[in-house]
Amino acid sequence: MILDTIAPVIPHLRHVAIDEAPLRQVCARVAPKQLRLPTWDDDVFILHPPESRAAQILLFNTINFSYWGDPKWTIDFHGRPLDGAWGMLGALARAREEGFPIFGGRYLAEISAAGMRHILRGNVEIPMFEARLDIWREVGRGLLEHFDGDFIRLIKAAGNDALALVDLLVTHFPSFDDTAALDEHTIVFYKRAQLATAMLYEAFGGTGLGNLVRAERLTVFADYKLPQVLRRLGILRYHPHLAAHIDRREPLAAGSREEIEIRAATIWAAELMRQDLASRAPEITALHIDYWLWQEGQAKGPTIKPYHRTRTIDY
């Protein structure tokens, strides 16, 4: 469904282009055996019991967005500084160690600003704190109303179907409803809902609470890191005005045509990569492409061009 909503706008992109020549070159030098799925078993993850592991993954993705800033929000986790998504995972693991019932719908629905500040405490206040607080309260209410306050009931309500779980998240928790309008077309991204589902599938190896059919139908997760990598690889090309804007690290408005085009082109380019690689290895899915691109994005250095900076709850 997501690809179907993106397809009509790709021929009409004004600010972003997909260059298929470097795309094919990149795919040609990637051996399918290099492509794997993450296991999500770093020490920031709660591994036991499985119900807590699953709940942490879903709760994490309710507020897994917009970490960038100067200075960057960073927490201390067992003497280890963590920022970004790993900082958020560490904050949740730390809260559980401290005895906070963060996986309960009632607790989330009634959480105070002071309580959440304590859970997310770091060197600076995390960006979009109030939005995160509102989302946890929304999630708590949704869990209480539809799933007896329990993340595991939510997972089981999906009937072992990845796309059904995405639909449940988007339907019952409005902050997951990540869509945009472009040229009279409604585009569906569902970045956080898809990532929550994919992480559940990957963390459990497709078994138990992660036994989710149709996971291969998920797309890559349109954020700021993937387009940065695709641009570096020459697969995405930006109009000079957009490129200069991003390279100056100037904010790009959420919902602007430029931002929507970047996200749409990211998903479409990754799908073209999947098709190319799947011609040699049919088991390759968008999840493999996403993780490979994410790993490529860990490269640092003065020649790496910036990612686009958009303040949004979507990523």
- pLDDT tens for 125-178 read 999 999 999 999 999 999 999 999 999 999 999 999 999 999 999 999 999 999
Establish if 315 belongs to a structural domain.
Answer: no
Q: Is the pLDDT of residue 301 over 90?
A: no
Establish if 62 belongs to a structural domain.
Answer: yes
Q: Give the total number of structural domains in the chain.
A: 1
Residues with catalytic function: 223
Establish if 303 belongs to a structural domain.
Answer: no
Average pLDDT, the chain: 98
Q: Is the pLDDT of residue 1 over 90?
A: no
Residue 93 binned pLDDT confidence (cut-offs 50, 70, 90) = very high
Establish if 185 belongs to a structural domain.
Answer: yes
Establish if 149 belongs to a structural domain.
Answer: yes
Establish if 11 belongs to a structural domain.
Answer: yes
Residue 185 binned pLDDT confidence (cut-offs 50, 70, 90) = very high
Establish if 213 belongs to a structural domain.
Answer: yes
Distance in Å from the first CA to the final CA of the chain: 20
Establish if 18 belongs to a structural domain.
Answer: yes
| C-alpha angle 306-307-313 in degrees, rounded to nearest 5 | 150
Q: Is the pLDDT of residue 303 over 90?
A: no
Q: What is the pTM of this model?
A: 0.97
Residues of the domain holding 75 = 2-296
